[in-house]
Amino acid sequence: MYREKTEAAYAFQMTAKAKQDPDKWPAWLHAAWELSPGTPGSLYPAHGGRPTGDLLLGMRLGLVTVATDDWIVRLSTGEMKTHNEQVFADKYEEVK
């Protein structure tokens, strides 16, 4: 678990290795994978098939690309965001 300066959030880094092994994904990310593409909170492959390339994250205002090594963040409200490694490191710290 990680926390932003103001609230706790779940986060998972979508590395190339993680894309190859969805069994290691957290349950909340599996739930996002099961949603219909384009639905806010959904996660699915940009080009169909397996999650080996870029992924798309459905958000209230449209779609966002999740590139390799980006972090997917699930806020306590259920809203999901994506951040590159630098932005994630600037905004979040691990909860121990």
CA distance 93 to 95: 6
pLDDT score of 5 more than 70: no
Q: What is the pLDDT of residues 30-83, one digit of tens each?
A: 999 999 988 999 999 887 766 667 899 999 889 999 999 999 999 888 889 999
Instruction: Return the pLDDT at 52.
Output: 62
pLDDT > 90? residue 29: yes
CB of 4 closer than 8 Å to CB of 95: no
Q: Which residues of 55-91 are buried (b: 16+ CB within 10 A; e: fewer)?
A: bbbbbeeeebebeeebbbbbeeeeebbbbeeeebeeb
- Let me know how long the chain is: 96
Residue 74 pLDDT: 94
Instruction: Tally the domains of the chain.
Output: 1
State the residue range of the domain holding 48: 2-94
